[in-house]
Structure 1
């Protein structure tokens, strides 16, 4: 991510930590809320003079923000085999890891699940040692992995979900509000398949962005959703057994 974009992300994080909305920041800066939103939007412009003004509102300085930009590490998009084995070996650790990927606070975790504060703290500390997150004072944390973390296709976590979770997930009717299940089969060129896979990745990232943007909503306004996507070159075994043997295309030399 370019340094300018990273700076904007750091400022957004600081605003969230300070509990300042765009509307409140706009009033402090003497701007309209729409102007502030454009400034923080992708491709928006934020001159250094404006950064200085935002620093004043946040009661910090540019040097401190610049230091935090320098601390930014590229997000990991895949864990090592050893990391996955450690995460899946302890069901409570796996639960806390999934909650952290969803940006849940420490307080939300202990409120929603039968996990004591001591257990939750232990899990966060272990995830810190594993390099999944950076644990900060008062059980705050910074994720070191992408929200759209890719679990290894044949790794310990995906095998756990295949063995223990998939049946439970697909047993639902998928007929509730905001629910969908569909199955599409067809023949594509490898290039077209790669293009579709990339679009599916973008959809997963959009799901993650929507989740983060709606963190400020109350619990009564939200419901738990899980998005599962898969695409592979495959034909059901029962159908494959009914296929006729493919005829070999005769070449010009064999016909002569």
Structure 2
């Protein structure tokens, strides 16, 4: 069975999508359509902008969604048996199997990014990747801290992202270093997938009501529970919960393999998810 996977923030680069734009008339039409819908030249930022601008949450999320979904339109025989997306990538995955249209998905990504960015500007938070420690050790340290700090992304064995208030993040990361863990601070200015994002949930829920959803053509393994979902009502609920819940990527991949996935195609820019999947298999 064939699984297609869609990355989230961190996979962006300047020039992403330019090759699709120049070689595919379908891609060129959709890139131009994206600019029309958004009312600004997103393609110019993707193709010729600066990495500083592209790292802005609003532009990053739009760029990855646009690239990933357009790429599926240029693939031969795109007919997945199952799909999954990492954080933002879940929206790309849903659009790829027509749970909502490319246009409505684009509007949803923009709204989600703006909501998240506003919270990032009001709270001093961050995220860090912890390498080399067991999940249980990291979970326990987060529970013991008196601030806001939680496991945010279960990426692969001995690689877990923590997210929260900056002071808490500093404390737990210093502890992880003392017990042999390695730390990489992510270049983001927000505590995504943590309780800090709670104010975003109602706003996103209200906007999702304006989007037309359909049942998925194939199972999508959603971040919140790592389980296959097809019913649009469940998909909606899980999308909202995703804002404050950890991304269970490792568990999703394990479940896809257990349910018959034998090949994984990384649809977005880069090969970040393929590298994680190799460590999970």
Q: TM class, shorter-chain normalised?
A: under 0.3
Larger helix percent: 1
TM-score of the pair, normalised by structure 2:
0.25
Taking CA–CA contacts closer than 8 Å with sequence separation of 6 or more, which of the two structures ends up with the larger relative contact order?
2
